[in-house]
Amino acid sequence: MKNVRLILSGLSLLLAILFSSCSDPVTEQQTSANKDDAITTTDNSQARLPGPGGGVLMQAFYWDVPAGGNWYDSIKDKIPSWDAAGISAIWLPPVSKAQNGAYSMGYDPADYFDFGDYNQHGSVETRFGNKAELVSLINTAHSYDIDVYADIVLNHNSGGALEPNPYTGTNTYTDFNPASGKFYRSASDFHPNSYATYDEGIFGGFPDLSHSAPYVQDWLWNRADGVGKYYRDSLGFDGWRFDYVKGFGGWVVKEWMNNVGGFAVGEYWDGNAQLLQDWVNATNRTSSAFDFACYYKMDEAFDGNDLTKLQDDMLWKRDAYKSVTFVTNHDTDIIGDKMHAYAYIMTHEGYPTVFYNDFEQWLDKDKLINLIWIHNNKAVGSTSIQYADNDEYIARRNGSPGLIVYLNDSNVWVERWVQTNWSTSSIKDYTGNSNWQPTTQTDKWVKIQCPPNSYSVWSPL
């Protein structure tokens, strides 16, 4: 396509529509109740919001990162470049000693206060390092104004010794004698016990921690030297990613947040946006949730060549401040067309997450950095869907400066007339995928384009 600068005069809307066979806009669909021109929040939905578009989270690990205790140091070395790329927070894997010691990814927690300094469960260090290295990483991140979120596993424990269990009449692996000397546990701290027979879910047959037990509550969130407050005050964590929250009631996260504070996001693994919203509400809106509804709809849209799916229900459309969007994570990686997906989450509402492998190994890092910059500087305000069919999708962010995002899943260049936020303004595609620099009409309409199998993002010069 030639480099053409469109100079649009005061043509009427009818003439503009007739000008191109691809120029029929559809009625816009308002997709968020947020009417603010800039993202602001009075709750703790996002710990930091640098720039008009808000923050971007980096998942700073993947499944089976290299063992050997060097991961914290490896991540610390990346902090300066991640800061330069526009990352505002990082999410670490579970930091405490687990049953499989140096081989564990941390999701089988045994001693919540052993961060790689006690010889138990087959190792001294965790897979990722030791406490001094962890604290050094957190302090380095803070020196760049980057927050650090801990992965918290509250549903289950692993690695206890066998003991007679009076509640089951059998022997169970519920005798926990941590080398740290903190948070001893026995059968009375797991289901069934004298407080509750069961809760919302059991994971993998592991002993199911009973949050109804006052002793457990004290050690998790009440005590000044308990898990939550120790992680906050002594380690320096700023927020929490709660694992497998389907396994316990939303009130558990609410109590943690009311006593400990910070940012929170829960892994409620379900593609039903209503259920995600229900869980957020069950925490008394103290926590965000990963937007699995958005995740699965992006897979249907981009891998299924049906961009109309992007009009469907998602958590960010219901509750933008409580949606953490993502393209892949350490557990699931089903979206093949990832660049379209990143273009979507970086230009729409929600708190977008970048996956370590996508950024450092698999995708074009420069393109991801460009999308992060667009998010941080342009992606402001509520969202209006302007057009959607199998191959094309156009949406507008209505804040200042705002943007127009154009997604094209076809093999040809496409162009379309759209209504913008800007009157008589020169605009450009900030991805560089199109070199047009058109000027909007006085009525804010303009013609934009998108390359084959690509995306463009338009905003004033």
Backbone angles phi, psi at 414, to 5 degrees: -130, 155
Q: Which two tokens stand for residue 310?
A: 């992007």
Three-state helix/strand/coil letters over 81-110:
HHHHHCCCEEECCCCCEECCHHHCCCCCEE
Q: Cα(338)–Cα(411) distance, rounded to whole angstroms?
A: 17
d(CA 48, CA 36): 18
User: Do the annotations mark residue 453 as ligand-binding?
Assistant: no
Residue carrying the six token digits 């996260």: 253
Q: How many CA atoms lie within 13 A of 218 on its CB side?
A: 8
| C-alpha of 198 from chain center | 30
Instruction: Report the amino acid identity of residue 195.
Output: Y
Told to judge if 77 belongs to the known catalytic residues of this protein, a careful annotator would answer no
CA distance 380 to 152: 31
Residues 110 and 157: beta-carbon distance below 8 Å: yes
**Which amino acid is present at 380?**
V
Instruction: Identify the bridge partners of residue 164 per DSSP, sorted by sequence position.
Output: 171
Buried b vs exposed e over 53-70: b needs ≥16 C-beta within 10 Å? bbbbbbbbbbeebebebe
Residue from 151, 243, 299, 392 carrying the catalytic annotation? 243
For the question of residue 267 being annotated catalytic, the response is yes
DSSP-derived letter for residue 65 is P
Contact present, 90 and 60 (Cβ < 8 Å): yes
- Catalytic residue among 108, 133, 267, 291, which? 267
Sequence ranges of the binding site for Ca(2+): 155
Active site amino acids? 243, 267
